[in-house]
């Protein structure tokens, strides 16, 4: 008589209890008994409603696992950056305290302590900010009010110090550990079931476990690409929120601190003739008075002691037909809002520089695909700032590009960029295109084909203005010895950016002493570099550009 096989569910339950022990909710997800099909907004809303700072670390590990399973089950959701932000919000609460415990603040990175907050408290605050920023329409006042429940001190100061890009390494490592644990569970279950004597009754379960293993590996691969993009998007969104009108803040002023206190200007007393039936004419600004006579050379006139302005009697004030205009007070700059904008620009600049350097390293290793992906990530940060109308400028793009050069290592070129780059490498220097910022915009088809070069070819905005701006910024940053590499036909071409933009800056720096020497080379027929004589250099320096 054949002995009946035990039910498949019984086999799975026994295997699960023996290998995992608990976490029945995970089993229900892995084997299709429950799937999270809710929209992202609903998931975020539930997390915010149940947000309790003191116990959030307990739920974050389960939340992170649930989001990983959600992304593994639905590959289409991996294309949505906010899904990765949701995963980051769950992971940061667990990852940050573990990184601090393992190696201290130095091992956890630059974001280990922000505004005096660290550990699980910082993780909870960052989780709250991430969840709030997933909603595109988040207002600054809402964010501040939510954080005030558990962040003590100046909430705005804390928000301005947050840089999500600094947590990229910590979060990537955390997702690797979570996925590694899930893969270990799936693989152990599959191995156990494959060795089970009732193999035929659990073939479907084994196939399901093998499929999950592939999904987890695919998710881990996508995380390396999407996580940095999600963090960059978070920094951009936080910058936009902080640029809004800030709520009123309470300031404590310590005794003994000297602050600027401008006294109100007392208007000059005037007497105006009042003629019945005559309308007073509109006051017009006075013409500037003539300059005072110069003092006699060599005679130092002592400065008079300041005296209080005498109050004129009514009879001493001259009678006028119309009053003199009163000078309005100067409008002060909104320094607080500008500081927030500058911080957002600095964050973008730092992130773009990091991506560019990573692209360079990948290129050196021969990984062109990764290098191109890093360059594209940098361009994605710049893309919202590209000019779209005739009156728009490239300023917001230019200020986000680091085109700095090492001392004695700046190389300028006209005609042959490859020859210039080869020479720059030989002196451990750079050309504009091989700086951190230059690599991002060099060969950018969206700019090259989407914008005309100058007025000869179409309407503004012009691509030349971008290169004019970064060329000037590059020239302004050079120090020490400077070199140029130019083709023979470009040496005296007064239409080049060298003659019109870069050379004037270098000439000024030579006068000020910031540039010690200028070495100019022309490219010979065999591709060799021929150094120009001092006479030839001086002649070329005297040429004036014809295209400002």
Residue 174 domain flag: yes
Residue 290 domain flag: no
Residue 377 domain flag: no
CA 4 to chain centre: 65
Alpha carbon distance 399, 349 (integer Å): 8
Residue whose C-alpha is closest to residue 348's, from 394, 384, 373: 384
C-beta of residue 324 within 8 angstroms of C-beta of residue 283: yes
Alpha carbon distance 267, 252 (integer Å): 33
Tens of pLDDT along the chain (548 residues) come to: 444 444 445 555 665 565 555 555 555 555 554 455 556 566 655 555 455 554 444 556 777 788 888 888 888 888 888 888 888 888 887 777 655 544 444 444 444 455 455 556 677 778 778 888 887 656 777 777 777 766 666 777 888 888 888 888 888 888 888 888 888 888 887 777 776 655 666 677 777 788 888 888 898 888 888 989 989 888 888 888 887 644 444 444 444 444 455 555 666 667 766 665 555 555 555 555 444 444 444 445 555 555 555 554 555 667 776 666 666 655 555 555 555 556 778 888 999 999 999 999 999 999 999 999 999 999 999 999 999 999 999 999 999 999 999 999 999 999 999 999 999 999 999 999 999 999 999 999 999 999 999 999 999 999 999 999 999 999 999 999 999 999 999 999 999 999 999 999 999 888 878 999 999 999 998 989 999 999 999 999 989 888 87
CB within 8 Å of 6: residues ≥ 6 apart: 198, 201
Domain containing 172 equals: 8-242
pLDDT tens-digit series, residues 57-102 = 455 677 778 888 888 888 888 888 888 888 888 888 777 765 554 4
SS3 161: helix
Number of domains in the chain: 2
Give the pLDDT of residue 130.
83
Residue 270 domain flag: no
Q: At what angle do helices 40-49 and 119-134 cross, to 10 degrees?
A: 140
Final residue belonging to a domain, choices 242, 276, 306: 242
Q: At what angle do helices 81-108 and 56-73 cross, to 10 degrees?
A: 130
Residue 231 domain flag: yes
Q: What's 247's DSSP letter?
A: P
Final residue belonging to a domain, choices 182, 208, 242: 242
Residue 184 domain flag: yes
Residue 181 domain flag: yes
Residue 91 domain flag: yes
Q: Is it true that the peptide bond before 348 is cis, omega within 30 degrees of 0?
A: no
How are the residues of the chain apportioned to helix, strand and coil, as percentages rounded to the nearest 5?
Answer: 55, 5, 40
Final residue belonging to a domain, choices 191, 209, 242: 242
Q: What is the b/e burial string over 216-244, where b = at least 16 CB atoms within 10 angstroms of the residue's CB?
A: beebbebbeebbbbbbbbbbbbbbbbbee
């Amino acid at each position: 008589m054949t002995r009946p096989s035990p039910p498949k569910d019984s086999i799975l339950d026994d295997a699960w209890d023996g290998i995992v022990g608990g976490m029945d909710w995970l089993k229900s997800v892995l084997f299709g008994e429950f799937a999270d099909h809710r929209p992202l907004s609903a998931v975020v809303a539930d997390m915010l409603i149940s947000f309790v700072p003191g116990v959030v670390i307990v739920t974050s590990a389960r939340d992170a696992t649930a989001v990983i399973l959600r992304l593994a089950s639905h590959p289409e959701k991996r294309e949505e950056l906010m899904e990765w932000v949701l995963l980051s919000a769950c992971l940061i609460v667990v990852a940050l305290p573990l990184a601090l415990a393992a190696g201290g603040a130095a091992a956890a990175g630059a974001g280990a302590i922000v505004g005096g907050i660290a550990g699980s408290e910082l993780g909870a605050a960052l989780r709250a900010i991430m969840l709030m920023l997933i909603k595109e329409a988040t207002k600054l006042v809402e964010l501040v009010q939510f954080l005030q429940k558990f962040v003590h001190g100046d909430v705005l100061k804390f928000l301005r110090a947050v840089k999500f890009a600094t947590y990229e390494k910590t979060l990537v490592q955390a997702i690797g550990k979570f996925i590694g644990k899930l893969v270990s569970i799936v693989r152990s279950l599959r191995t156990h079931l494959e060795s089970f004597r009732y193999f035929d009754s659990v073939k479907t379960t084994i196939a399901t476990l093998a499929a999950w293993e592939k999904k987890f590996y695919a998710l881990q691969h996508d995380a390396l690409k999407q996580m940095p993009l999600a963090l960059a998007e978070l920094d951009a969104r936080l910058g936009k929120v902080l640029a809004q009108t800030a709520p009123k803040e309470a300031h404590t002023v310590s005794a003994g601190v000297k602050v600027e206190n401008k006294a109100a200007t007392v208007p000059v007393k005037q007497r105006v003739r009042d003629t019945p039936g005559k309308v007073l004419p509109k006051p017009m600004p006075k013409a500037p008075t003539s300059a005072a006579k110069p003092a006699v050379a060599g005679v130092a006139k002592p400065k008079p002691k300041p005296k209080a302005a005498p109050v004129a009697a009514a009879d001493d004030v001259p009678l006028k037909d119309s009053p003199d205009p009163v000078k309005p007070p100067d409008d002060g700059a909104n320094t607080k809002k500008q500081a927030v904008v500058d911080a957002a620009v600095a964050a973008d600049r730092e992130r773009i520089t990091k991506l560019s350097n990573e692209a360079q390293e990948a290129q050196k290793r021969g990984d062109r695909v990764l290098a191109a992906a890093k360059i594209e990530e940098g361009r994605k940060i710049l893309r919202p700032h590209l000019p779209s109308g005739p009156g728009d400028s490239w300023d917001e793009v230019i200020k986000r590009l680091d085109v700095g050069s090492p001392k004695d290592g700046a190389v300028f070129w006209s005609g042959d960029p490859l020859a210039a780059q080869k020479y720059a490498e030989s002196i451990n220097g750079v050309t504009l295109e091989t700086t951190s910022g230059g690599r991002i915009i060099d060969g950018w088809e969206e700019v090259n084909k989407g914008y005309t070069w100058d007025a000869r070819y179409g309407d503004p905005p012009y691509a030349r203005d971008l290169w004019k701006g970064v060329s000037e910024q590059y020239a302004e940053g050079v120090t020490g010895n400077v070199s140029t590499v130019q083709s023979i036909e470009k040496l005296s071409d007064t239409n080049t950016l060298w003659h019109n933009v870069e050379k004037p800056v270098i000439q000024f720096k030579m006068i000020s002493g910031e540039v010690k020497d200028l070495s100019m080379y022309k490219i010979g027929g065999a591709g060799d570099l021929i150094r120009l004589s001092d006479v030839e250099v001086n002649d070329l320096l005297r040429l004036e550009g014809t295209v400002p």
